[in-house]
Structure 1
């Protein structure tokens, strides 16, 4: 799938996190326990074709629940989503991602 960010860079990290918080009930239905933003949007440096990088902790993730969540987020933000399960972070990237991630409140 090649979805470009159709809304340009109008999203800030604060707005992205607010949108996640507003959609908590839907996120919870996918088994999301915690979700956070990392990468270029957290740093305030997204490019015109940047994807959004999310770190997620899901209660008993399955392929279907993971893909349903990814598709939901891509539809919500109208761009490509890189969705990383907390337990699958590569060890060489773990400290970098965990230092940078900003979690949505109340999730």
Structure 2
């Protein structure tokens, strides 16, 4: 799946499904954002939640994997996130 298709689908997901998990901001980073993903790539998704808890995060991850049909890594962007990971995300994130 190419970058533009993933972004289009993620916008739809954010509008219709993400609110039930408390998502207030959502985007892609990593190989998809850089345009270097391939058929074996997962989708790296960064979110900001207004209801931060493990159940929301796990439910969101499973829902996204079902929606896209590929493995998804979900990172909840918080103040406590490691500076190195924040730097990696901020370098190429595309918010929808």
Among candidates 65, 70, 85, match of residue 76 of structure 2: 85
In structure 1, distance between residues paired with 2:39 and 2:6 = 16
RMSD (Å), alpha carbons? 1.3
Whether contact under 8 Å (2:46, 2:75) holds in the other structure is yes
TM-score (norm 1): 0.80
Structure with greater helix share of residues: 2
From 24, 48, 59, give the equivalent of 2:50.
59
Distance 1:28 1:53 in 2: 19
* Structure 2 unpaired stretches of 5+: none
The equivalent residue for 1:14 is 4
TM-score scaled by length of structure 2: 0.88
Aligned to 1:31: 22
> CA shift at 1:99, angstroms?
2.2
What is the DSSP-based 3-state SS (H/G/I as helix, E as strand, rest coil) of the residue aligned with 2:40? coil
Structure 2 Cα separation of the partners of residues 78 and 58 of structure 1: 23
* Corresponding residue for residue 65 of structure 2: 74
Report the count of equivalent residues: 94
**Is there any run of 5+ residues in structure 1 with no aligned partner, and where?**
1-10
Larger mean CA deviation between 90-99 and 73-82 belongs to: 90-99
2:69 is equivalent to residue 98 of structure 1: no
